[in-house]
Amino acid sequence: MSSELARSFTRSKERRRTTHAPRVLAIEAIGPLTIVAGVVWAIAQPYRVAFIHRDGKGVYDYLVQPPLLVVVVGILFGLLVAPSLVRDLLEADERAES
């Protein structure tokens, strides 16, 4: 194999790794978009956040606040679920190209 052919093969392989398919970008965007949605919800409806209005709130009200739960779910999705899904998609793409 000539060096020029080998060089072009490695470049095309590197290019494929850096270029993401739209579905990979969509999966990677779900976590941050969920976090933004939770923050927007907390700003739009501040009465749902018990830290702001403390009148008659119990421990449950401080621990389970819907906008903050949405933010936590977005963080967990982005850190735990999305990387494995993206890895699976990229592996499936590599297998399909082979």
Residue 51 covered by a domain? yes
Q: Which two tokens stand for residue 78?
A: 């982005």
Does the predicted TM-score (pTM) go above 0.85?
A: no
pLDDT value of residue 19: 61
Mean pLDDT split into 10-residue runs, the chain, 98 residues: 56 56 92 96 83 68 83 96 94 85
pLDDT value of residue 73: 96
Residue 69 covered by a domain? yes
Residue 9 covered by a domain? no
Residue 5 covered by a domain? no
Task: Enter the DSSP assignment of 21.
Answer: P
pLDDT value of residue 46: 82
Within a 10 A sphere around the Cβ of 20, how many other Cβ atoms?
A: 16
| Alpha-carbon Rg for the chain in angstroms | 22
In the chain, the number of structural domains is 1
Residue 1 covered by a domain? no
Spatial CA neighbour of 72 closest among 44, 41, 51: 41
Q: Which two tokens stand for residue 66?
A: 């819907």
Residue 28 covered by a domain? yes
Instruction: Give the residue carrying structure tokens 């494995």.
Output: 84
pLDDT value of residue 7: 58
Residue 86 covered by a domain? yes
pLDDT value of residue 74: 97
pLDDT value of residue 94: 86
Residue 83 covered by a domain? yes
Q: What domain range includes position 33?
A: 21-97
Spatial CA neighbour of 21 closest among 97, 90, 95: 90
- How far apart are the C-alpha atoms of 66 and 71, rounded to whole Å? 9
